[in-house]
């Protein structure tokens, strides 16, 4: 019956992780992963999350199904975090929000919703982007194309190329945008570029789908949501896939949110119904435990402040690692251009190292990066910076 089923080629990052695990070298470093690690090389358990779990453990509660749209208090918090508004404010009333299974679930439900109501649209993602964007939107039945994004020359955004490509798209096409901390390049738009992009999106009648998987990892919770809030204030209809995986370090509990900002509250009510219909057809309703943790933290002023402090410490640590790696590389190779390490945002940087040098890093020095040259700085410790900088200098020179 299943003879014709083809073997799954696997995920190149996961394959590399397996290779890393089997590597006997003591001083190996894995910078290929997509999670934040602390100085002890572990996924942190945030104090605010642990405190919320303790509270939940002390109170007996059953495990009912959540509504299709998820927990109402979680939804309210998620909308406030992304849009900075509370229920009753005009913008809040025209945003339909549901709880989802991580950011991936938000992209999937959003994708299915869009395919049902905008069947002719094409979806455009940045070149390069998080690989699963193509998988999820392709899986929802869309043709997925790319727009220029990263410039290897400047290590920044090829903004002219991006705008020119978007200007040529037909009205109604969907443009996936990383709100902050672009994965995989770390290169983000400036405020002025977001303003210019909003104008083009509005003039061309495009539909932006923001992906914000690293809110708080760039410049701050509010700063990282700037583009979304600006577009929404301009009255541009848009979608947002939010994720708590990284900023609560709650990866496996699958906590995310999908938001659709509409023209008015009537449209938002209809869209809200259709989002629930999309959920019903995929998994009926979302899981409860992670939502309880998030709501417990964000409902309580003290826990919320603690969470923000811990998130700030994670962001500051990533920036320190960037600065330290930059300083060491610059000292050892004064002619090299490593400024990108300081300018790029979030967990990742594109090193621009050619694939032969990436392989040398792995084979000769036990430093694992994926072959695109993406480096996860959030997996580097302060002790690990010097050996990694030395290895980079050796393969570059």
Catalytic residues: 130, 211, 246
The answer to the question of residue 102 lying near ligand PMP (CB under 6 A) is yes
**Least distance (Å) from ligand PMP to the CB of residue 111?**
12
Whether the CB-CB separation of 43 and 36 falls below 8 Å is answered with yes
**Least distance (Å) from ligand PMP to the CB of residue 176?**
9
Q: How far apart are CA 73 and CA 13, in angstroms?
A: 36
The answer to the question of residue 110 lying near ligand PMP (CB under 6 A) is no
Q: Name the segment binding ligand PMP (CB under 6 A); options: 65-73, 99-107, 289-297, 360-368.
A: 99-107
The answer to the question of residue 243 lying near ligand PMP (CB under 6 A) is yes
Query: Of 213, 279, 388, 392, which one interacts with ligand PMP (CB under 6 A)?
Result: 213
Residue whose CB is less far from ligand PMP, 34 or 208? 34
**Least distance (Å) from ligand PMP to the CB of residue 355?**
22
Largest Cα span, the chain: 63
The answer to the question of residue 34 lying near ligand PMP (CB under 6 A) is yes
The answer to the question of residue 32 lying near ligand PMP (CB under 6 A) is no
Give me the 340-369 binding string for ligand PMP, x by CB under 6 A, dash otherwise: ------------------------------
Q: Please give the full DSSP string across 295-357, using - where no structure is assigned.
A: HHHHHSHHHHHHHHHHHHHHHHHHHHHHHHHHHHHHHH-TTS--HHHHHS-SSEEE----HHH
Give me the 116-145 binding string for ligand PMP, x by CB under 6 A, dash otherwise: --------------x---------------
- Which token pair is 307? 């969470």
The answer to the question of residue 183 lying near ligand PMP (CB under 6 A) is yes
Cis status, amide bond into 118, omega within 30 of 0:
no
Whether the CB-CB separation of 70 and 49 falls below 8 Å is answered with no
The answer to the question of residue 215 lying near ligand PMP (CB under 6 A) is no
Query: Of 97, 104, 296, 349, which one interacts with ligand PMP (CB under 6 A)?
Result: 104
- Angle 73-107-84 from CA coordinates, rounded to 5°: 40
Q: Please give the full DSSP string across 42-105, using - where no structure is assigned.
A: S----HHHHHHHHHHHHS----PPPPTT--HHHHHHHHHHHH---TTSHHHHTEEEEEESHHHH
The answer to the question of residue 221 lying near ligand PMP (CB under 6 A) is no
Residue 30, classed as helix, strand or coil, is strand
- Kindly state the helix (H) or strand (E) to which residue 224 belongs, with its residue range: helix 221-224
Query: Of 70, 103, 290, 346, which one interacts with ligand PMP (CB under 6 A)?
Result: 103
Give me the 253-282 binding string for ligand PMP, x by CB under 6 A, dash otherwise: ---x--------------------------
Among all residues, whose Cβ is closest to ligand PMP?
102
Binding residues for ligand PMP, how many (CB under 6 A)?
A: 12
Residue whose CB is less far from ligand PMP, 165 or 213? 213
Query: Of 30, 97, 245, 351, which one interacts with ligand PMP (CB under 6 A)?
Result: 245
Give me the 304-343 binding string for ligand PMP, x by CB under 6 A, dash otherwise: ----------------------------------------
- Which token pair is 295? 């709501």
Q: How far is the CA of 15 from the CAs of 20, 47, 51, 177, 185, in angstroms?
A: 9, 32, 35, 28, 21
Please name which of 95, 149, 123 lies closest in space to residue 271, comparing C-alpha atoms.
95
Write out the residues near ligand PMP by the rule CB under 6 A: 34, 102-104, 130, 178, 183, 211, 213, 243, 245, 256
């Amino acid at each position: 019956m299943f003879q014709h089923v083809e073997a799954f080629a696997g995920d190149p990052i996961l394959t590399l992780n397996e290779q890393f695990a089997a590597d006997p070298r003591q001083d190996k470093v894995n910078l290929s992963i997509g999670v934040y690690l602390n100085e002890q090389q572990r996924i942190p358990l945030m104090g605010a999350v642990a405190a919320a779990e303790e509270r939940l453990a002390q109170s007996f509660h059953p495990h009912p199904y959540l509504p299709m749209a998820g927990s109402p208090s979680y939804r309210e918090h998620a909308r406030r975090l992304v849009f900075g508004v509370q229920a009753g404010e005009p913008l809040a009333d025209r945003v339909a929000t549901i709880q989802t299974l991580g950011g991936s679930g938000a992209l999937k439900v959003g994708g299915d919703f869009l395919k049902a109501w905008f069947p002719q649209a094409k979806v455009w993602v940045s070149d390069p982007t998080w690989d699963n964007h193509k998988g999820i939107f392709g899986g929802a039945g869309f043709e997925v194309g790319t727009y220029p994004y990263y410039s290897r020359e400047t290590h920044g955004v090829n903004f002219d190329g991006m705008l020119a490509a978007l200007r040529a798209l037909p009205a109604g096409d969907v443009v996936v945008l990383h709100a902050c901390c672009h994965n995989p390049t770390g290169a983000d738009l400036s405020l002025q570029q977001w303003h210019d992009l909003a104008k083009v999106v509005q003039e061309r009648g495009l539909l932006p789908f923001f992906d914000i998987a690293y809110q708080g990892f760039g410049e701050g919770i509010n700063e990282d949501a700037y583009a979304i809030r600006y577009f929404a204030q301009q009255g541009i209809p848009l979608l947002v896939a939010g994720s708590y995986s990284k900023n609560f370090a709650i990866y496996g509990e699958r906590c995310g949110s999908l938001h659709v900002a509409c023209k008015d509250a009537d449209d938002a009510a209809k869209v809200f119904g259709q989002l629930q219909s999309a959920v019903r057809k995929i998994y009926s309703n979302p899981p409860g435990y992670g939502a309880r943790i998030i709501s417990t933290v964000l409902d309580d002023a003290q826990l919320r402040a603690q969470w923000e402090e811990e998130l700030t410490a994670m962001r500051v640590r990533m920036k320190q690692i960037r600065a330290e790696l930059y300083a060491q590389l610059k000292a050892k190779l004064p002619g090299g251009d490593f400024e990108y390490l300081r300018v790029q945002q979030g967990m990742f940087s594109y090193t621009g190292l050619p694939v032969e040098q990436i392989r040398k890093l792995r084979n000769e020095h036990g430093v694992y990066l994926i072959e695109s040259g993406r480096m996860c700085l959030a997996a580097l410790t302060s002790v690990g910076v010097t050996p990694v900088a030395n290895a980079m200098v050796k393969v570059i020179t």
